[in-house]
């Protein structure tokens, strides 16, 4: 069971690449003359060492599919590439600071029901450790950090929990100093091997804390593609048009699964094939939207059991994509609205100051070529405090100006001593 949970976590990430790219893919007719119907043999090799709690992986799988499906509806016919693992880890650190109704909302959306906070944190620790040692020939690097405004008070238990289970150390900075941006972004660049060089564009005057997760992945194909076989071929787009694009081609024995609505193939990484990219290609009379309607944890688990070793030919595009999204609307649609509302957010387990989430920014990079795949993801959760409220009763003579903000030109000005 734990073996399969590890695979599912990685597979969620890889599926996200192709749910919008699928119309551009081409899996040639598969030769089924000599299939090897040894199920699971095409998936991953035996591995009996794992500290992953299956409940957390099931929660992450369901949350990842919900997040991706909602995002794909909000951004139809666009390339989408996310790391639900990165988003879940950043939100899990944030979860350690919430209470009351805010905690209930996050528990429901993150599918944490039935697990205690200690179990969630311990499971996340086990997951991170497991992913980073899955295969010595594959790089999976995960890093977490906290960045706080100097002098802002955070509760010791919140800091200790995130340091213990996520290795997220706190760095205090003067957010009004322009160097603060560079320091945070330099950390991001370092942890993603330079593939993502910036996650924070500006710091709000009310900003007090950033919780950041970074993931870096680099894996060579178990069987690399021959560069001499790569050629420009037709790449079909969702609007019915097409373009010429470099397509990599290969023949071999692959983990393969086919239904009346899609084809799917597994392309393993590393010597042992402990991680793999799963490509799902809707049939020509179907589309990605229809495929996503079938994307449930139940179907996913069933599909994973149906891959068998089959001789075939595959063509996939060589590509590089950078993707960025603000997830406030997506998380709100899923039911996590309270963390963004200063009048409702309860972060009393984090600080005694009234705060709320300003943004959940997610940024990714992926490059797929003949050698393999390199990918990175960063999720930044910005926490800000409410401004002191004010009351201004204009009930006596006043001065007013009408100014053009673009040029700074003052069009009108006046003193009103007796409103008519």
Q: What is the 3-state secondary structure (H, E, C) of 20-87?
A: HHHHHCECCCCCCCCCECCCCCCCCCCCCCCCCCHHHHHHHHHHHHHHHHHHHHHCCCCCCCCCHHHH
| 197 vs 49 pLDDT, higher one | 197
Name the nearest CA neighbour of 141 among 211, 220, 86, 65: 86
Q: Which pLDDT belongs to residue 309?
A: 93
d(C-alpha 420, C-alpha 416), whole Å: 9
Compute the average pLDDT of residues 342-349.
96
d(C-alpha 146, C-alpha 172), whole Å: 8
- Taking 50 as the threshold, does the pLDDT of residue 314 lie above it? yes
d(C-alpha 302, C-alpha 281), whole Å: 17
Using CA atoms, how far residue 285 sits from 25, 114, 282, in Å, is 14, 41, 8
Using CA atoms, how far residue 33 sits from 36, 264, 403, in Å, is 10, 18, 77
At residue 123, the 3 state secondary structure works out as: helix
- Taking 90 as the threshold, does the pLDDT of residue 48 lie above it? no
Phi (first) and psi of residue 114, to 5 degrees: 95, -5
- Taking 60 as the threshold, does the pLDDT of residue 64 lie above it? yes
- Taking 90 as the threshold, does the pLDDT of residue 189 lie above it? yes
Average pLDDT in the chain: 85
At residue 134, the 3 state secondary structure works out as: coil
User: Contact, 124 vs 174, CB < 8 A?
Assistant: no
Q: Which pLDDT belongs to residue 396?
A: 76
User: Contact, 15 vs 22, CB < 8 A?
Assistant: no
User: Contact, 300 vs 65, CB < 8 A?
Assistant: yes
- Taking 80 as the threshold, does the pLDDT of residue 30 lie above it? no
Phi (first) and psi of residue 285, to 5 degrees: -95, 10
């Amino acid at each position: 069971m734990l073996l399969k949970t590890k695979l599912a976590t990685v597979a969620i990430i890889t599926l996200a690449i192709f749910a919008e790219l699928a119309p551009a893919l081409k899996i040639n007719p598969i030769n089924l003359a000599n299939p090897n119907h040894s199920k699971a043999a095409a998936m991953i090799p035996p591995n009996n060492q794992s500290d992953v709690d299956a409940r957390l992986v099931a929660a992450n799988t369901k949350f990842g599919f919900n997040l991706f499906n909602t995002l794909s509806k909000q951004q139809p016919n666009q390339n989408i590439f996310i790391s639900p693992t990165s988003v879940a880890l950043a939100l899990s650190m944030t979860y350690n600071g919430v209470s009351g109704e805010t905690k209930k909302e996050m528990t429901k959306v993150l599918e944490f029901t039935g697990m205690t906070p200690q179990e969630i944190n311990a499971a996340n620790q086990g997951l991170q450790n497991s992913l980073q040692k899955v295969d010595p020939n594959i790089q999976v690097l995960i890093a977490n950090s906290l960045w706080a405004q100097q002098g802002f008070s955070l509760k010791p238990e919140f800091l200790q929990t995130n340091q213990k289970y996520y290795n997220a150390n706190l760095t205090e900075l003067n957010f009004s100093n322009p160097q603060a941006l560079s320091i945070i972004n330099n950390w991001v660049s370092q942890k993603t091997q330079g593939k993502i060089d910036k996650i924070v564009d500006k710091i709000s005057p009310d900003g007090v804390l950033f919780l950041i997760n970074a993931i870096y992945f680099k894996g060579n194909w178990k069987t690399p593609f021959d560069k001499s076989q790569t050629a420009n071929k037709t790449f079909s787009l969702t609007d019915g048009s097409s373009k010429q694009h470099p397509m990599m081609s290969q023949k071999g024995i692959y983990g393969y699964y086919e239904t009346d609505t899609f084809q799917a193939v597994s392309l393993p990484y590393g010597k042992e094939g402990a991680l793999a990219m799963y490509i799902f290609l809707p049939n020509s009379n179907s589309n990605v939207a229809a495929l996503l309607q079938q994307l449930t944890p139940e179907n996913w688990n069933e599909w994973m059991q149906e891959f068998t070793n089959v001789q075939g030919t595959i063509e996939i595009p060589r590509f590089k994509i950078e993707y960025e999204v603000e997830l406030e609307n997506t998380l709100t649609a899923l039911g996590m609205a309270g963390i963004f509302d200063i009048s409702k957010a309860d972060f009393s387990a984090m600080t005694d100051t009234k705060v709320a989430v300003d943004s959940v920014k997610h940024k990714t990079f992926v490059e797929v070529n003949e050698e393999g795949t390199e990918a990175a993801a960063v999720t930044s959760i910005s926490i800000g405090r409410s401004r002191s409220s004010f009351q201004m009763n204009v009930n006596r003579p006043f001065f007013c100006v009408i100014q053009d903000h673009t040029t700074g030109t003052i069009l009108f000005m006046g003193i009103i001593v007796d409103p008519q």
